[in-house]
């Protein structure tokens, strides 16, 4: 059982929850103008874990035939048959149940928004079949993270800094565009859509840079409209450096450092912005 759970967690890259969870905390802390109560904090964690587990499990299920054909992904749990399809569906349904129960335990508005938030994350998994706009759809799905954290605390959208969600949208769209370069040739051959497969790796990198510049501007605006002070802007400086660095360590001709760019730098960005927001509210 422990081995099977370990395989399932690896299948959905559970550690990548670090991308969205700090932004949910950021929205919650901004809404509370400090640390929210521990019960709310706990339900936010459960909601985010449930949503991401459900979405990633669903992604692996609907992409299993493509994953089997792609040499880079053929060793994943479903195409390699180390996890049964029924087991994957069970995990998806249980995770969805956890998400909705956590939202129910928070407040009515969180519950009402939950089908839209989860539905969008599930819809993303289908978008590569018909649009190269898929990276922006993923960004839009993760943009619900800070909004969800805000609503979980306040039960209202009043005064929510939507520039924060816009920052998350373009940040995610940027790094997902870079990551999609790994499968550009396969996607073009098999008929899947992505910016790299449609416009080539070089142009995709340029678009990703544009996305990240826009994201950086929105993150700066978040500090302004939320009346945050110097700790936040120290975090902004680090964020800008991390965004710049991840476009240096990889390029269209050399993707060998993609994990450093994709996971390490972007994980640090989300954690840094959350901690910087927390410190700013404390100061």
Position 9 confidence tier, pLDDT thresholds 50, 70, 90:
low
Top CATH class of 2-9+18-282 equals mainly alpha
Residue 212, Cα to own-chain centre: how many angstroms? 14
| pLDDT tens figures, 10-37 | 665 656 666 789 999 999 999 999 999 9
Answer for the pair 30, 277: CB distance below 8 angstroms, yes or no.
yes
* 3-state SS assignment for residue 251: strand
pLDDT at site 1: 66
Say what angle helices 38-62 and 144-154 make with each other, to 10 degrees.
150
Three-state secondary structure of 79-127: HHCCCCHHHHHHHHHHHHHHHHHHHHHHCHHHHHHHHHHHHHHHHHHHH
pLDDT at site 5: 66
Mean pLDDT of the chain: 92
Position 179 confidence tier, pLDDT thresholds 50, 70, 90:
very high
Answer for the pair 52, 17: CB distance below 8 angstroms, yes or no.
yes
Position 42 confidence tier, pLDDT thresholds 50, 70, 90:
very high
Residues with Cβ < 8 Å from 250, sequence gap 6 or more?
178, 256, 257, 258, 260, 261
Is it the case that residue 242 has pLDDT exceeding 70? yes
Longest dimension (CA), the chain: 54
pTM: 0.93
DSSP secondary structure letter of residue 1: -
Radius of gyration of the chain (CA): 19
Residue 282, Cα to own-chain centre: how many angstroms? 27
DSSP secondary structure letter of residue 129: T
pLDDT at site 19: 74
For residue 87, count other CB atoms closer than 10 A to its CB: 17
| pLDDT tens figures, 61-92 | 999 999 999 999 998 889 888 889 999 999 99
| Averaged pLDDT, 171-181 | 95
| pLDDT tens figures, 94-114 | 999 999 999 999 999 999 999
- Residue 57 in tokens: 């499990």
DSSP secondary structure letter of residue 262: I
Q: Pick from 272, 24, 56: which is nearest to 147 by CA?
A: 24
What are the angstrom distances between the C-alpha of 39 and each of 66, 179, 246? 41, 36, 36
In the chain, where the domains are located: 2-9+18-282
Please give the Cα distance from 77 to 69 (Å, whole number): 14
């Amino acid at each position: 059982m422990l081995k099977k759970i370990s395989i399932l967690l690896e299948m959905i890259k559970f550690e990548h929850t670090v991308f969205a969870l700090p932004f949910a905390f950021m929205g919650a802390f901004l809404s509370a103008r400090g640390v929210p109560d521990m019960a709310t904090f706990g339900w936010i964690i459960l909601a985010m874990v449930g949503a991401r587990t459900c979405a990633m499990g669903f992604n692996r299920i609907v992409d299993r035939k493509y994953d089997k054909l792609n040499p880079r992904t053929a060793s994943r749990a479903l195409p390699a048959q180390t996890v049964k399809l029924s087991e994957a569906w069970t995990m998806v349904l249980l995770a969805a149940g956890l998400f909705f129960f956590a939202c129910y335990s928070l407040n009515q508005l969180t519950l009402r928004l939950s089908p839209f938030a989860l539905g969008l994350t599930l819809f993303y998994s289908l978008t590569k079949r018909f649009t190269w706009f898929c990276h922006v759809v993923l960004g839009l799905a993760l943009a619900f993270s800070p909004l969800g954290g805000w609503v979980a605390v306040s039960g209202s959208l009043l005064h929510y800094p939507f520039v924060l969600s816009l920052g998350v949208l373009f940040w995610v769209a940027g790094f997902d565009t870079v990551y999609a370069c790994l499968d550009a040739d396969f996607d073009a051959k098999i008929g899947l859509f992505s910016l790299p497969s449609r416009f080539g790796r070089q142009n995709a990198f340029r678009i990703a840079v544009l996305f990240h510049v826009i994201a950086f501007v929105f993150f700066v605006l978040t500090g302004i409209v939320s009346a945050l002070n110097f700790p936040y802007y120290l975090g902004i400086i680090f964020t800008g450096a991390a965004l710049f660095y991840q476009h240096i360590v990889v390029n269209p001709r050399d993707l060998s450092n993609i994990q450093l760019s994709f996971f390490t730098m972007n994980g640090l960005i989300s954690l840094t912005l959350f901690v910087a927001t927390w410190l700013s509210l404390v100061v």
